[in-house]
Amino acid sequence: MTRRMVQNSINKGRRNAIKTLAAVAAGAAFPMPAMAESVLGSLTQRRILSETDREANSRIAMDAIGTTDPIVSLDTEYNLQRVADYYQRLVNIGGWPEVPTNVYGLILGNHRKAVRDLRVYLTHTGDLPQDAEMSEMFDAPLDVAVRGFQARHGLQITGKVDEATYWAMAVPTHERLRQINLNLERVRGLAGQLTDRYVNVNIPAAAIEAVEGAQIAQRHTAIVGRIDRQTPILKSRIHQINFNPYWTVPKSIIERDITRLMQENPNYLTEYNIRIFDGSGNEVPPSSIDWTTSEAVNYTLRQDPGVRNSMGNVKINFHNPYSVYLHDTPQQDLFSGTQRFHSSGCVRVSNVDEFVAWILRDNGYSIIDVNSVFASGERLDESVENPVPIFTTYFTAWANRNGVVSFRDDVYDFDATGRVDFPELVS
């Protein structure tokens, strides 16, 4: 959130609070007793709860990180360096205060001492203005600040200091500074690799950016590889789109998953329209294979196009030695989660019709054309007229031009090991 938006919200809250206090205390010639203070606090809490537009506060939080600045661009190094300088100054004065456990569970309307501790912390992180009022009431401006913190850390935006939010707050300043500096080195390693038009899949954020003219043209939520089946770091070009594709099951998935699933449910392949072919292209019935062994890896397992196909409506190809690709998925509910590390290395794309239309723009496709082919069920392979560069990268910290810094968890432990060199991204 910008300082101006938050300050306007604070000023409005102060004006409303003054009006309420004036109305309650108008006839009082002496200080209010404890009972009256309790009643006043309850009335204030009710007013805050009734008047606060939580959805609007979430939009403010998302707008702060939702600029058109890409995670990776020629300006990323400058933006991150500015943030690094601020965090270094914080470290030099001892860092932000340790978050006390009593802030856990705080939410809009709470009135207690722990709220003041939360306010102090959020002024250090920049989510709450330095001149914010240090009251013990969890009011609308503080709700904006908590939601902003959650948005910056890729957490569920609730306005409540839940478990994930508390642990993100518990990370000390010097650790965040180290994270920023590691990502600065990663940005520098990409110098000279970026073109005017490219796709960046940032693994820790499980997010995809379609970039053009140094600005984000499209953002897409992604599902990336889980820890034991990681999405690889790579650089390539998107050269082909497969509409309504078949899915050839990788041997690793046959070995790790399919054999187990067939033991649990012998009808699994039939239910999911997956057929088995031998080396000569002849179809083989599932019953002819011993699923208690690794025999199945000697066959080709292929899933027919359709609503249950693991590729969904489209597969997006780029040359790479890992046999990974981008694709649609029938499991759309997975995109709503905050921990989106579920795949076997490939990357699933939300709102994939918009993404494919952007990729095939020079082929003359519009989003209407893309959805028409989806709906037809036609198997169609389209070569991309101007292959679009694609990077899969690992950034756990980045900043936009407004100085708003975002962080993500070190899901593959690259930060933990200090890895900053990725020769896979260098031509």
Interval 335-347: pLDDT, tens: 888 889 999 899 9
The b/e string for 376-389 (b: 16+ C-beta within 10 A; e otherwise) is eeeeeebebeebbb
Question: Which residues share a beta bridge with 224?
Answer: 341
Is residue 42 within 8 Å of 36, Cβ to Cβ?
A: no
What is the structure's pLDDT at 73? 84
CA–CA distance, 338 with 340 (Å, rounded to integer): 6
Mean pLDDT of the chain: 88
What is the structure's pLDDT at 16? 38
Which helix or strand (DSSP H or E) is residue 406 part of? strand 405-407
CA–CA distance, 180 with 188 (Å, rounded to integer): 13
- What are the tokens at 87? 């965090």
Question: Which residues share a beta bridge with 327?
Answer: 315, 348
Q: Which domains does the chain have, with CATH numbers?
A: 3-67+78-172 (no CATH), 177-425 (2.40.440.10)
- What are the tokens at 51? 């008047």
What is the structure's pLDDT at 41? 52
How are beta strands 197-202 and 274-277 bridged, if at all? unpaired
Rg, C-alpha atoms of the chain = 26
What is the structure's pLDDT at 132? 87
- What are the tokens at 80? 């991150």
What is the structure's pLDDT at 426? 87
* Amino acid residing at 406: S
Query: In terms of Cα–Cα distance, which of 394, 405, 377, 406 is closest to 314?
Result: 377
Half-sphere exposure of 19 (CA within 13 A, CB side): 7
What is the structure's pLDDT at 43? 58
What is the structure's pLDDT at 133? 86
CA–CA distance, 122 with 66 (Å, rounded to integer): 20
Question: To 10 degrees, the CA torsion angle through 5, 11, 17, 19?
Answer: -130
Query: In terms of Cα–Cα distance, which of 427, 424, 422 is closest to 189?
Result: 422
Tens-level pLDDT at each residue, the chain (427 residues): 333 333 344 344 333 332 332 332 222 223 334 444 444 456 566 677 667 788 988 999 999 998 999 998 888 899 999 999 999 999 999 999 999 999 999 999 999 999 999 999 999 999 999 888 899 999 999 999 999 999 999 999 999 999 999 999 999 999 999 999 999 999 998 878 999 999 999 999 999 999 999 999 999 999 999 999 999 999 999 999 999 999 899 888 999 899 999 999 999 999 999 999 999 999 999 999 999 999 999 999 999 998 889 899 999 999 999 999 999 999 898 888 888 999 989 999 999 999 999 999 999 999 999 999 999 999 999 999 999 999 999 999 999 999 999 999 999 999 999 999 999 998 6
- What are the tokens at 103? 């802030």
Other residues' Cβ atoms within 10 Å of the Cβ of residue 397 = 26
Question: To 10 degrees, the CA torsion angle through 282, 288, 293, 294?
Answer: 10
Question: Which residues share a beta bridge with 346?
Answer: none
Question: Which residues share a beta bridge with 397?
Answer: 407
What is the structure's pLDDT at 266? 94
What is the structure's pLDDT at 274? 94
Is residue 222 within 8 Å of 349, Cβ to Cβ?
A: yes
CA–CA distance, 295 with 289 (Å, rounded to integer): 7
